[in-house]
A = this chain, B = another copy of it.
Amino acid sequence: MLQLLSVHLKLPEWFASMRTTNRFFDSDNAKMQFVLDLTDKNVQNDTGGPFGAAIFYQKTGELISAGVNVVVSMNCSIAHAEVMAIIFAQHKLSLYRLGDGYELFSSAQPCFMCTGALMWSGVRRLVYAADRHDVESILGFDEGPLPEHIENELTARNIRVTKHLLRTPACSILQSYKQRNGVIY
């Protein structure tokens, strides 16, 4: 078999019906609610794990990109929601480092891989809903050996962290994924 020279990373088809362009959000709550709506759609449509993320330009509140977990459908363990959102934002803006003013909202605390991805991305703020303990206790995913004081490491790299925004509804989505017997990998 030939070594392929390119691979497509795709979001689920239902994404096409989401309004994601010229869309502005005026509060952290509204941004996170949008991310949780995506996350819930990913669970309800059985298109991936119960995780969503989006990148916004803080000054204007503009939605830059959004992603959901498509690990199973894409056969790609890299395709976490945060990674998808970062890839699409950088592709859209033609930047390999986003820089000042970009913020990533995630339905759950980034795992070890996604925390590293965040550090390279150039994003300057991370906002998440459920934390790693919620994910591990509800679903049993192994989020990896994140250092205890990972927030300090992020702060040291100019990434501010806001946690537990809309945590309860985010945990409800994790629960509903579990009840649907979603794949745990």
Contacts and interface: CB of A to CB of B under 8 A. Distances in A.
B153 A92 contact: no
A125 B77 CA distance: 17
A138 interface: no
Contact of A96 (B75, B86, B95): B75
Interface residues of A, number: 57
Nearest to A185: B97
Given A76-B91, A97-B185, A120-B113, A6 B1 contact: no
A73 to B, nearest CB: 9
Nearest to A73: B96
A122 B115 CA distance: 19
Given A96-B185, A147-B147, A16 B5 contact: yes
Contact of A112 (B7, B72, B75, B116): B116
Contact of A71 (B2, B76, B96, B114): B96
A20 interface: yes
Interface in A1-30: 1-11, 13, 15-16, 18, 20-21
Q: Which 3 A-B pairs have the closest CB atoms?
A: A113-B116, A3-B20, A112-B116
